[in-house]
Structure 1
Amino acid sequence: MATTAMRYHRLPLRGLAVFEAAARHGKFAGAAGELLMTQAGVSQHIAQLEADLGVELFVRRHRGVELTSAGAAFLASVEQGLKMLSDGVASARRHATEKTLHILTDIGFAAWWLMPRIAALSELMPDVEVRLITTQSNIDSQSNIDAELADFDLAVLFGHGDWPGCKSARLFAEEVYPVCSPSYLGGHTTPMAPAEVGRFRLLHLRSDGRQRWFAWDDWFTAFGDRPRAGQQDLTLNNYQLVLQAALLGQGVALGWAPLIDELIGNGSLVRLTPQPLTSARGYHIIEPLHRPRNADVATVKAWLATPSVPDALRATAFEDCEG
């Protein structure tokens, strides 16, 4: 490693740039004009480079210079190397001026609420690259916050709003309805009684560990016991699969507002009962307290809480929670 570093330190980078310019122009005077040097200075750099390499690179003629065979072979390597260096410098400069915003959320919110609106966010902030990262983790402890939110500017997560070391505001309250596709509903009419819902095939969202959201048992506890199922239920391990199964007519799912709002609005899904199951949980906008103030984060927060979201569910103020 040390030997390689020593070789890099010995590279005559200025001489290589002068050599490339002289070869391209075919004249030392042309290279001097481009590089804001004197012709004598160009000639000196070329002579030093030839001495260092131990080979003649140019044949000096009265009206200019001409590459030797060794010089022509060397030029190909120099051009390739200088191009790589130029591309690397340009990339580094782009990163220095590039504005990025990292948003963390779960797969369900990303797929069914955020992605249909991401173009509008890009139009709002055309000079900012939005990087959307999804997680399935249960982020509710200090260790999880430190691990998951350390590199993110903003998060939209489901829970009670008590994330340690963060400030949070509820964006949507938890509202859950039974939903299915029109094709699966068939000739049945809505709204229907809870007992009728229980006769359909139910689509379950599996929870690994502590239950963080409503399950069908919670729904039937609130609205009435489920009768004996008429057909075998189906259990899936993420909410995107649950909604896809419902859209494909595989059964009845619990639908979380506002994730299902557009699907209900365009007729892809049908609510089976008018009364939602609600709780104190919901989706919250979350900012780690250790992050410096960011004007782009403020813009996204305001955009998330736009009037397109029902007033009763919109975030109104942030509450600090030190944990």
Structure 2
Amino acid sequence: MVGVGGRASPNGLRVFEAAARHLSFTAAARELRSTQSAVSQQVRALEEQLGMPLFERIYRGVRLTEAGQALFAGVQEGFAIIDRTIDRLQDRYRHPHVNILTDFSFAAYWLMPRLPSFRKRHPHIDVRIVTNQGVLDWRTQEVDVAILFCDERTLASGVPRLFPEEVFPVCAPGFLQQHGPIESPERLAELPLLALTADQGQSWLDWPSYFEQLAGIGYMESSELTFNNYTLLIQAAIAGQGIGMGWRGLVDDMLESGMLVGLQELGLRSSRGYGLIDTRPDTSGEAKRALQEWVLACAEETQDKRTVL
């Protein structure tokens, strides 16, 4: 046989796989709803394309040559990979998912308490949350949406701001009864303060910047208890161990429940805040669109509730 050494056609490989599996052109034709002669012609064409015999024609049937056996194993493996890929894609279509990147604080105090309402509204969407406390670079993560604390430049680039940075001291009611009233920055600076580290370059407000912006006074950080996790800091504040810095949007539920008291007359606002970042703007999908719309609606409800209060 003189072959041209060309590439095999997908349809030719499909016909070959059926014929090789049945070791019968007639049985392959029945499976493919074709004719024995058509299967024989397609197998012959494939052999000519490859330049090698794949079957030995024997009495009442065929058998694979050594090359045919090797090709049959490869074709079956390839078809199995295609089948698994199709199953995975169909499963993803039936059960769409969305990956969210955010920090521990936002996930614990804002996202998780509200997430049941999203899952009730969209029970077919799987939500996967990726969290970290340090600087979060969504460009290196396999995520669809990022909800991050953003600086002014990022928010000015068109990223929707969920709510602005509004901070004020928070403490347990018992702590305030013991040390109050706390009506001035000078008095605040004398008390045990709970600090959140920013050793990875985070842009949130710290106590020295707070005192400088609020009253133009220096702060030596001599009475701080320092944490690298905001959740632990808030637990320490609830336990009466000192005064923490509360971010509006994160501590609202604890203020409403009475677990914390906010010294809002000593509050500050900035143009920073949490933003909703579409990490893959060139791709769309039901899950991502639904999640984005829900987050924006929840943020608006938070702002409206704050206005009423």
Aligned residue number for residue 250 of structure 2: 259
Q: 1:305 aligned to 2:296?
A: no
Residues 80/59 of structure 1: CA separation in 2 closer, same or farther (3 Å cut): farther
Maintained 8 Å contact 1:59/1:68 = no
- What is the rounded CA distance, in whole Å, between the counterparts of 1:89 and 1:130 in structure 2? 22
1:234 counterpart = 2:225: yes
* Aligned equivalents of 1:88, 1:138: Cα separation in 2: 31
Question: Which amino acid in 1 is paired with 2:17?
Answer: E
CA RMSD of aligned residues (A): 5.3
1:193 paired with 2:181, answer yes
Q: 2:157 aligns with which of 146, 156, 165?
A: 165
Tell me the residue number matched to 2:12.
15
How far is 1:202 from its partner?
3.0
Q: Distance in 2 between matches of 1:201 and 1:157?
A: 22
Pick which of 78-87 and 124-133 moved more.
124-133
CA distance in 2, matches of 1:279, 1:41: 81
CA contact (8 A) 2:255 2:261 kept: no
- Paired amino acid for 1:278: G
1:83/1:60 CA distance change after superposition, 3 Å: farther
1:32 aligns to 2:21 (yes or no):
no
**What residue number does 1:320 align with?**
none
Q: How many Å separate the matches in 2 of 1:240 and 1:58?
A: 75
Matched-pair contact (CA < 8 Å) for 1:110–1:134: yes
Paired residue secondary structure (1:259):
coil
Asked whether the 8 Å contact 2:99–2:130 carries over to 1, the reply is: yes
> In structure 2, how many angstroms separate the alpha carbons of the residues matched to 1:293 and 1:10?
34
CA contact (8 A) 2:160 2:275 kept: yes
Distance 1:283 1:313, change over 3 A: farther
Q: Which residue does the alignment assign to 2:109?
A: 112
Q: CA deviation at 1:126?
A: 4.8
- Which SS does the other structure have where 2:55 is aligned? coil
1: CA distance, partners of 2:88 / 2:233: 42
Aligned to 1:3: none
Specify whether residues 273 and 171 from structure 1 end up closer, same or farther in structure 2 by C-alpha distance, changes over 3 A only: closer
Q: In structure 1, what residue type is equivalent to 2:181?
A: A
Cα 1:152–1:82, aligned 2, differ >3 Å: closer, same or farther? closer
The CA distance in 2 between the partners of 1:137 and 1:166, in whole Å, is: 20
Q: Which is richer in helix?
A: 2
CA distance in 2, matches of 1:72, 1:306: 65
Q: Secondary structure at the match of 1:11?
A: coil
Q: CA deviation at 1:83?
A: 1.1
| Corresponding residue number in structure 1 for 2:170 | 178
Of 197, 206, 210, 1:218 maps to: 210
User: C-alpha displacement at 1:73, in angstroms?
Assistant: 6.0
Q: Contact 1:206–1:235 (CA<8 Å) still a contact in 2?
A: no
Q: What is the one-letter code of the residue matched to 1:54?
A: P
After superposing the two structures, state which structure 1 stretch, 255-264 or 68-77, moved more.
68-77
Which one-letter code corresponds to 2:106 in the other structure? F
Listed as ranges, the matches of 1:247-286 within 5 Å are 252-263=243-254, 270-272=259-261, 274-275=263-264, 277-281=266-270, 283=273, 285=275
Q: State the 1:174 CA deviation.
A: 1.2
Change (3 A) 1:31 1:303: farther
Shift of 1:117: 2.8
Q: Which runs of 5+ in 2 are unaligned?
A: none
Question: Offset of 1:283 from its aligned partner?
Answer: 3.6
Residues 245 and 37 (structure 1), Cα distance of their counterparts in 2 relative to 1, 3 Å cut: farther
Q: Following the alignment from structure 1 to structure 2, what is the Cα–Cα distance between the partners of residues 207 and 276?
A: 29
User: Is the Cα–Cα contact under 8 Å of residues 159 and 276 in structure 2 kept in the other structure?
Assistant: yes
Contact 2:25 2:40 in 1 (8 A): yes
Q: Which residue of 1 aligns with 2:53?
A: 54
- For residues 216-267 of structure 1, the C-alpha deviation after alignment (integer angstroms, 9 at most, x for no partner) is 67369969x99999x8533344535544665788654222233123455678
